[in-house]
Amino acid sequence: MAENVVLLGFWPSSFAMRVKIALAEKGIKYESKEENLFDKSPLLLEMNPVDKKIPVLIHDGKPICESLIIIQYIDEVWHHKSPLMPSDSYLRSQARFWADYVDKNIYGIGKRIWSGKGEDQEAAKKEMIGFLKNMEAELGDKHFFGGESIGFVDVALVPFTTWFYTYETFGNLSVEAECPKLIAWAKRCSQKESVSASLADPHDIYDFALGLRMKYGIQ
């Protein structure tokens, strides 16, 4: 029997893009339902009553929440191809560490850059560069964080590269000047169909962020 897979998402969300990449890597067909986060659907409230956030993956009627948990679920359930987690326990612990490091930093710091100003924005710019340099050091000379093929940490981080143009424009910074190897990695990732088909256009993200700044009266 065909499986029923539904993704509740929102197009500028890097967290939702992660899930799209993982599903594309596995070649899973699914229905994408776009949420309006300013007027959440009864389905989202039913499927994620605790956090009421996207993404939610609904597999045969059952919800899975939290993007990194969803990716691990996808990797376990559809293990026939494109493994995203390392098979070695130690390497798996390291991949989880770095994905968690991404989660603890990039969204919050990025938001302080694109929606902030003044001293805190300057501090956030420094924190962002420090964070990205740590990621670049972890990448080292590897092709992907996952080694020769895309893995858990790549999937966790690459959607946020669609926000780089927004961080750069509002923060007046250049990620490429600071972290050229990371930008080369991002380009390698987007040569993969699973990634390019799942990422939003950076200029659309910028327009979205600009709209939010205007909505919240940020000068």
Ligand X SMILES: N[C@@H](CCC(=O)N[C@@H](CS)C(=O)NCC(=O)O)C(=O)O
Which residues between 63 and 102 bind ligand X (CB under 6 A)?
Answer: 66-68
The residue with its CB nearest to ligand X is 53
Residue span binding ligand X (CB under 6 A) among the ranges 7-15, 122-130, 160-168, 200-208: 7-15
Q: Where are the beta strands (DSSP E) in the chain?
A: 5-9, 31-34, 56-59, 62-65
Contact yes or no for 17/161 (Cβ under 8 A):
no
Own/partner pairs, 39-48, CB within 8 angstroms, 24+ separation? 41/8, 43/8, 44/8, 47/8, 48/8
Strand pairing report for 62-65 and 5-9: unpaired
Contact yes or no for 109/127 (Cβ under 8 A):
yes
Strand pairing report for 5-9 and 31-34: parallel
Give whichever of 13 and 166 is closer to ligand X, judged by the CB atom.
13
Number of residues located near ligand X, criterion CB under 6 A: 11
Per-residue binder mask for ligand X (CB under 6 A), 173-192, x = binder = --------------------
Give whichever of 80 and 215 is closer to ligand X, judged by the CB atom.
215
Please select the residue that binds ligand X; options are 7, 15, 24, 112, rule is CB under 6 A.
15
Query: Smallest distance from the beta carbon of 53 to ligand X, in angstroms?
Result: 3
Query: Smallest distance from the beta carbon of 177 to ligand X, in angstroms?
Result: 28
Query: Smallest distance from the beta carbon of 119 to ligand X, in angstroms?
Result: 25
Q: What amino acid occupies position 100?
A: D
Give whichever of 85 and 183 is closer to ligand X, judged by the CB atom.
85
The answer to the question of residue 129 lying near ligand X (CB under 6 A) is no
Per-residue binder mask for ligand X (CB under 6 A), 30-69, x = binder = -------x--------------xxxx----------xxx-
Angle at alpha carbon of residue 212, lines to 208 and 216, rounded to 5°:
170
Where does this chain bind ligand X (CB under 6 A)? 10, 13, 15, 37, 52-55, 66-68
